[in-house]
Amino acid sequence: MGRRRNGARRARELLPACFLLFTALLVWPLLTAANRPILVAGVPALVLYLFAVWAAIVGVLAWAAGGGGEDGS
């Protein structure tokens, strides 16, 4: 139980850093850099970039909400 509490505390401490990182990934200069007339498998690069950032946000928040799965349950 103490291990889960430590994992939850560590995740809670990492959330502000993740917020800053993901905010930095969504600022105008990086969005402009991804907004090129390039298609990857028929999908614009900007759409792929936004999807990747969104998927990373969801993954990190799911990990933080789950406590990182350190207790094995």
Range of the domain at 63: 14-68
Domain assignment of residue 2, yes or no:
no
Domain assignment of residue 4, yes or no:
no
Domain assignment of residue 21, yes or no:
yes
pTM of model > 0.75: no
Mean pLDDT calculated for residue range 4-18:
76
Identify the bridge partners of residue 43 per DSSP, sorted by sequence position.
Answer: 40
Structure tokens at 68: 């990182």
Number of domains making up the chain: 1
Question: In the prediction, which pLDDT does 7 show?
Answer: 67
Determine whether 69 is exposed, middle or buried from the number of CB atoms within 10 Å of its CB (0-12, 13-18, 19+).
exposed
* pLDDT digits 0-9 by tens, 17-70: 888 999 999 999 989 988 999 999 999 999 999 999 999 999 988 888 875 555
- Give 49's contacts (C-beta < 8 A, 6+ positions apart): 30, 31, 34
Question: Does position 3 have pLDDT exceeding 90, yes or no?
Answer: no
Phi first, then psi, for residue 6 (nearest 5°) are -65, -40
